[in-house]
Amino acid sequence: MIIKSINLETVCGITSKLPQNQLPEVAFAGKSNVGKSSLINALMNRKSYARVSAQPGKTQTINYYNINDELYYVDLPGYGYAKVTESVKEQWGAMIERYLHTSKQLKLVFLLIDIRHKPSKNDVMMYDWIVHNGYYPVIIATKSDKLKRSQLSKHLKEIRQELSLNKETPVFPFSSLSKQGREEIWDFIEEVVMP
Ligand code: GDP
């Protein structure tokens, strides 16, 4: 994908009305600190347009990045950050649910999982929840540079098992350092969103 223009067009807080966009949307979900901002930056060919957080779990917003006036990347708030209050967790759930329910243009949901660790309870819950809302998330296994090549397939298999993925569900290993996986993810987005 050639990135010609990017624009952080809409930032929605808890009480904001969500935009009814005309362009297709690709959403990114994952626990805080999983590398979501870094992935979105890599997919936008930018170093730090999406904020890479020193303070995980702080931002509870849904950010819509207009890409080339062709599609949106939708950055969903990260979950599972222990230090936020219960009420923030509830608001977070309500926001994501509202997004999954109301977006008419959502074509693809990526769920990010840290390749080093077994998917957490929250990851499994998130996966099931997205499925419950009518979407089949595609997995991006982040921080692949942290593993030796020889360990990759074992960890990918474990992610598949824990989430009970079927064979057809793609799992893309990705590293924002080496950019491993970026081309494959772009190609996949283009296939799904701009056939
Ligand atoms: P977010 O909270 O999910 O948006 O995660 P960030 O993109 O802010 O990244 C969280 C931390 O993980 C930061 O310190 C990043 O530098 C680091 N990180 C993100 N992606 C990678 C990666 O692919 N490889 C490595 N080694 N570190 C990463």
Pocket of ligand 1 (CB under 6 A): 30, 32-38, 52-53, 56, 78, 142-143, 145-146, 175-177
Q: Whose CA is nearest to atom 25 of ligand 1?
A: 143
| Distance between CA atoms of residues 117 and 90, nearest Å | 25
- At 161 the three-state DSSP class reads helix
How many residues are listed for the chain in this entry?
Answer: 195
Q: Which value does ipTM take for this structure?
A: 0.99
| Superfamily classification of domain 6-193 | P-loop containing nucleotide triphosphate hydrolases (3.40.50.300)
- What pTM value is reported for the model? 0.95
- 90 CA → ligand 1 middle, Å: 25
Q: What is the pLDDT of residues 85-119, one digit of tens each?
A: 777 777 888 888 899 999 999 999 999 999 999 99
Domain spans of the chain, in order of start = 6-193
Return the amino acid letter for 169: T
Q: Whose CA is nearest to atom 18 of ligand 1?
A: 35
Residue with the two structure tokens 């849904």: 62
